[in-house]
Amino acid sequence: MKMNRILSIAAAAVMVIAAASCGDNKQKEDTNTISLEEAEAKFSSELANADTTQVLELGNTFMETMKEGKIDEALDMLYTRNMADSVGGLRKLNDSERATLKSRFERFPVVSYTLDHYDFSIPALNDLKYSYVFRPNSATGKLNLMFNPTKRDDQWYLMLKQPDQPAKDAENALPPSAAIAMPDEE
């Protein structure tokens, strides 16, 4: 009987320690998570007019290069997500991605374009949207092109928005209360 009581106390102590350590892990996770609204406010406070200028120059240069028919040169300007990088790194397009995009822009060339809008959210999730005409004098000859300008190490990179990435003007827009994991600052 005395042995059962000792085992019960030991088991209870183990459960309390386990629960406490789980609580510590949750507390650590919570300190690196903030709302999208807070993340956007923090990021926008760090932006300068030069950031807007750089992003628009990247997008306009890409569109002008496409308009000139220099598809390969324009594709050299693009980056995509590096899925092997846990902090959302970037990489140049691989041969398969280049071939797919080249085929798309050969079939639907940029004849003229207009900037629809741009919006900054957080370093790895922003919107830069263009509409472009690929068939002049046609009501159906227009497409949209959405970029995800990404800032990393104080440098802006031009990335195409992936279908799974939220955009402010799309149905998949994130609510301001969405939880955003912030990388540890060193």
**Per residue in 21-42, pLDDT tens?**
444 444 444 458 898 899 999 9
- The pLDDT assigned to 184 comes to 56
Cα torsion through 88, 90, 96, 101, rounded to 10: 100
Give the pLDDT confidence of 115-166 residue by residue, as tens digits: 999 999 999 889 999 999 999 887 789 999 999 999 998 999 999 988 878 7
Closest C-alpha among 42, 46, 69, 62 to residue 148? 62
- Cα–Cα distances (Å) from 101 to 76, 86, 165, in that order, read 11, 25, 18
Decide which of 33 and 108 is more confident: 108
Q: To which residue do tokens 């220099």 refer? A: 70
Confidence of residue 180 (pLDDT cuts 50, 70, 90): confident
| pLDDT tops 60 at residue 13 | no
Question: Bridge partners of 61?
Answer: none
Contacts of 65 (CB under 8 A, 6+ apart): 73, 74, 77
- CA 48 to CA 36: how far, in whole Å? 20
Task: With a cut of 80, say whether residue 8 has pLDDT above it.
Answer: no
Give per-residue pLDDT as tens, 40-50.
999 999 999 99
Query: Can you give the pTM of this predicted structure?
Result: 0.77
Q: Give pLDDT, residue 113.
A: 96
pLDDT at res. 86: 54
